[in-house]
Homo-oligomer: A and B are copies of this chain.
Amino acid sequence: KNIAILAGDGIGPEVTAEAVKALDAVAETFGHQFQYSEALIGAAAIDATGNPFPEATEESCKSADAILFGAIGDPKYDNDPNAKVRPEQGLLKMRKNLGLFANVRPVSSYDALLPISPLKEHIIKGTDFVVFRELTGGIYFGEPRGRSEDGNTAFDSCVYSKNEIERISHLAFKAAQSRRKKLTLVDKANVLATSRLWRETVKELSKQYPEVELDFMFVDNAAMKIIQNPKDFDVVLTENMFGDIITDEASVISGSLGLLPSASLGTKSSLFEPIHGSYPQAAGKGVANPLGAILSAAMLLEYAFDLKEESQIIKDAVAKSLEAGFATEDIQKENPKSTKEVGDFVVE
């Protein structure tokens, strides 16, 4: 199996290295062969080629069986809102060009981390839901977008077709079928035309999944309910921008953003990445939490290669490292371990 490695910016390279170590350990134990090809993306790619998602990287992704991604983003671009080339463009172009339309983010609580969550234990203990966020449509990509000629007005467009809504909805309904059979569509149908199309389309589709209970929630209400009653959710389905916001919000449930993996699925490619982003302040210090990246490798094994046992063994090792209190500083204030030490523990 070929895996493209896009380590990217900030802490991306450090955490991806630990994920690769975990994959290697699995390969050795189970007798698999994983071949890696590294490619540039983000600010690292801009520095080297002027392009945040170079063609060589796209080729590398397209010829791989799965993609393991670190993070992109560099503060030097955030402070220059009009920079012509920005790392995020590479990420968005990659999602679009590889057709990665469904971003899947599981959210669960870890008993060992209940003390460090900002939420009370009885609220989060037992939380287990998964968010399906549409990833290649909506206001992230809609045209027209830009500035008026005089520069005094800016505009973005949110656009969705029935087709775009249907393909991710099928995945979400199927996930619900194999889980607790509940699907919540999060939208703003009381204001947005696109949300009304989502509601209409998903309602229509739900006839094909009669055993799944479908409900609708406005995004403002959902932002509240995810904190108040996270255990009420099973599968959450939503559009690109709302998904961006509520998945990051939901990450507080686990106690650390550093823990959360994600999968981005398309018809031809699939990509796996921790949701934490490039966290530039921590880059190079050996303090970044590698578990999000390592769990992304576990998702890769399950979703891209259908290697369930191999995936589970990684997840178990991660749970063990947390139970043992063997964790980086985001989780373990006293006597924190380094990125590499945590990676080694998981491999062990």
**Interface residues, chain A, CB within 8 Å of chain B?**
73, 77-78, 81-82, 86, 88, 92, 117-120, 123, 139-140, 142, 145-147, 152-163, 188-194, 196-197, 199-200, 216, 219-221, 223-224, 227-228, 241-242, 244-249, 251-252, 257
> In the assembled complex, how far is the CB of residue A272 from the closest CB belonging to chain B, in whole angstroms?
19
20 extra A-B contacts, CB within 8 A, seeds A118-B119, A154-B159, A154-B197: A73-B190, A78-B189, A78-B190, A86-B190, A118-B227, A118-B228, A139-B158, A145-B192, A154-B160, A154-B193, A154-B194, A154-B196, A155-B157, A156-B192, A156-B194, A157-B158, A188-B241, A220-B244, A228-B252, A245-B245
Q: Determine if A147 and B197 form an interchain contact, defined as CB atoms under 8 angstroms apart.
A: yes
| A157 surroundings in chain B (CB, below 8 A) | 155-158
| A200 surroundings in chain B (CB, below 8 A) | 81-82
- Closest Cβ neighbor of A144 among chain B residues: B157
Q: List 17 A-B contacts (CB under 8 A).
A: A81-B200, A92-B191, A139-B156, A139-B158, A139-B192, A147-B193, A154-B159, A154-B160, A154-B194, A155-B193, A155-B194, A156-B157, A188-B241, A220-B249, A224-B248, A224-B249, A228-B252
C-alpha gap A188/B145 in the complex (Å): 14
Q: Determine if A227 and B249 form an interchain contact, defined as CB atoms under 8 angstroms apart.
A: yes
Q: Determine if B156 and A158 form an interchain contact, defined as CB atoms under 8 angstroms apart.
A: yes
Tell me the number of copies of this protein: 2
> In the assembled complex, how far is the CB of residue A190 from the closest CB belonging to chain B, in whole angstroms?
4
C-alpha gap A118/B252 in the complex (Å): 12
Q: Determine if B155 and A163 form an interchain contact, defined as CB atoms under 8 angstroms apart.
A: no
C-alpha gap A40/B237 in the complex (Å): 36
Q: Determine if A223 and B245 form an interchain contact, defined as CB atoms under 8 angstroms apart.
A: yes
C-alpha gap A190/B119 in the complex (Å): 29
**Given A86-B190, A119-B118: A162 touches B153 (CB 8 Å cut-off):** yes
- Closest Cβ neighbor of A73 among chain B residues: B190
Please name the 10 residue pairs, one residue from A and one from B, whose CB atoms are nearest each other, closest first. Answer: A154-B197, A223-B249, A220-B248, A81-B196, A88-B190, A156-B158, A118-B123, A154-B193, A154-B194, A155-B159
C-alpha gap A283/B190 in the complex (Å): 20
> In the assembled complex, how far is the CB of residue A198 from the closest CB belonging to chain B, in whole angstroms?
8
> In the assembled complex, how far is the CB of residue A71 from the closest CB belonging to chain B, in whole angstroms?
13
| A160 surroundings in chain B (CB, below 8 A) | 153-155
| A189 surroundings in chain B (CB, below 8 A) | 78, 81
| A88 surroundings in chain B (CB, below 8 A) | 190-191
C-alpha gap A129/B334 in the complex (Å): 31
C-alpha gap A251/B224 in the complex (Å): 7
C-alpha gap A153/B140 in the complex (Å): 16
Q: Determine if B158 and A158 form an interchain contact, defined as CB atoms under 8 angstroms apart.
A: yes
